[in-house]
A and B are shown apart, each in its own frame.
Chain A
Amino acid sequence: MKYLDWNFITKYAPLYAEAAKLTVFIAFWGILLAFAVGVICSAALYYKVPVLRRIIQAYIELSRNTPLLVQLFFLYFGLPNIGIVWSGETCAIIGIAFLGGSYMTETLRSGLESIDKIQEESAASLGLNKWLTMKEIIFPQAMAISVPGICANVIFLIKETSVVSGIALADLMYVAKDLIGLYYKTDESLTMLVIAYLIILLPVSIIATLLERRMRHAGFGN
């Protein structure tokens, strides 16, 4: 077994730090948007809004059954043909939101649907309108139930950002591939890549576990 080239590692670690910032930036905004998409779409599905519901179902199928890389190619190389030119970052964020939106929708929808009908009825009998019932009664309970699923989605989406290197964004994956190509320091480059992802994901994973435990502890059930 040969030893890692520590000079190489210290020299190029700052590149990884820089790339990590981009990865986190894309993941953060992409996931935030995905969550917003999920909230809106799951509510529309929950209320069985005509037409919109069909459109959302079609969107979910399209989004979940096509690879993110293909979706990114479409946004980055395809859309300019019809006059829509977005930067790589914008495409990456929208791509993550497009993919994550469907996962968030399904997770939240199952949470919403698991809330007993009596909750809605007793809210109605107290005079709460639909909006108040959703905001005060249904959504908070559905969120608590959805926490494990949402956390899994968040981790999944952060990892998925690794494909944005496919549209020439200098994220972690891109830097690693670049260094391998330039210096053929495969072991060092990939080790740093793994560590960089772990530094980003382990805290997220720990927070997710704590959150899940808290929610389980809160265990609303009657």
Chain B
Amino acid sequence: MAQQNHNMLEVSGLKKRFGDDIVLDGVDLTVSRGEVVVILGSSGCGKSTLLRCINGLESVDEGSIRIDGEEVAVGSRSLTRLRQKIGMVFQSYDLFPHKNILDNITLAPVKVQKRSKQEARAQAEQLLRRVGLWEKRKAYPRELSGGQKQRVAIVRALCLNPEIMLFDEVTAALDPEMVREVLDVMLELAQGGMTMLIVTHEMQFARAVADRIVFLDEGKVLENLPAEEFFENPRTQRAKDFLQTFEFKKQ
């Protein structure tokens, strides 16, 4: 197939301002098919904005974003179609509170992708079983724990058969015991060959899951290295300082 020649995601020269604030200042980033890239950086460095731009939730001021060779353009007709190639999971639980778990998952496959109810349900069942939540299919989001909600949110995105998954600090709002169950699902996905772009503050997880680390600071890519190399031997002082903040030593 011709499209195999494209990178799954290509971001080039991306600039984004909010008023006078420059949030993204010329970001270049490529993610190839099957690759897992983790974006690190302190709060306010533009990580979330980058993901939102990729998904077309924010318009960009300069530069371009291509998914599978196709330009992401806010407000264009192709955007809705393109978004089906992108699965996104947000930090805050974003399930639809008035629909039960199964309806949350099958809504877009049925209404947007025009798939049959039975077929969408079958896939939902398979995915829910995989994350251990099939028995919760009739429950409403309010009856689930934070970790369960995030697993459902992942399943909901997966049910559209996306080609790349974006995760925006999906465990940041969770109780510590619940972080694990969500990260395990993501690890399994990565091992299954899913292309993933992950924003997280879980360093150990990042190290375990990532093929490559992109370190953002003040809207610029400071480092773009294979994961081991980044953690063992970061190039910039800024990245060293950043990693230092996650280390605890007895005084």
Contact = CB atoms under 8 A, between A and B. Distances in A.
A83 interface: no
Contact of A136 (B88, B111, B153): B111
B84 interface: yes
A219 interface: yes
Contacts of B84: 127
Contact of A126 (B83, B140, B142): B83
A195 interface: no
Given A220-B98, A222-B142, A126 B112 contact: yes
Given A125-B83, A127-B160, A128-B112, A136 B90 contact: no
A141 interface: yes
Contacts of B196: none
Indicate the member of A118, A121, A126 with the most B CB atoms within 10 Å. Answer: A126
A70 B93 CA distance: 50
Given A136-B111, A220-B142, A124 B94 contact: no
B222 interface: no
Contact of A219 (B56, B90, B96, B142): B142
Nearest to A124: B57
Contacts of A220: 97-98, 140, 142
Interface in B108-149: 108, 111-113, 140-142, 149
A144 B55 CA distance: 30
A118 B149 CA distance: 15
A126 B88 CA distance: 8
A153 B92 CA distance: 34
Main SS class of interface, A = helix
A114 interface: no
B83 A127 contact: yes
A128 B55 contact: no
Indicate the member of A125, A129, A136 with the most B CB atoms within 10 Å. Answer: A125
A137 B94 CA distance: 11
Nearest to A130: B80
B107 interface: yes
Contact of A140 (B56, B92, B98): B98
19 contacts: A118-B94, A119-B96, A121-B57, A122-B95, A124-B83, A125-B87, A126-B107, A126-B156, A126-B160, A127-B84, A127-B108, A127-B112, A136-B111, A141-B96, A141-B98, A220-B142, A222-B93, A222-B95, A222-B149
A125 B112 CA distance: 11
Contacts of A127: 80-81, 83-84, 108, 112-113, 160
B157 interface: yes
Nearest to B166: A125
A202 interface: no
B161 to A, nearest CB: 12
Contacts of B88: 122, 125
Contacts of B108: 126-128
B102 interface: no
A137 B149 CA distance: 17
A121 B90 contact: yes
Interface string B206-231: 00000000000000000000000000
B86 interface: yes
B97 A129 contact: no
Contacts of B156: 126
B90 A132 contact: no
B45 to A, nearest CB: 21
Given A124-B83, A125-B86, A221-B97, A136 B107 contact: yes
Indicate the member of B108, B140, B153, B157 with the most A CB atoms within 10 Å. Answer: B108
B98 A126 contact: no
Given A125-B86, A128-B108, 12 more contacts: A125-B57, A126-B156, A126-B157, A127-B84, A127-B112, A127-B160, A128-B80, A128-B111, A129-B80, A141-B98, A222-B93, A222-B97
A137 B141 CA distance: 14
Contact of A222 (B111, B141, B157): B141
A132 B83 CA distance: 15
B197 to A, nearest CB: 13
Contact of B142 (A132, A144, A221): A221
Contact of B98 (A121, A128, A129, A144): A144
A122 B113 CA distance: 16
Nearest to B111: A132
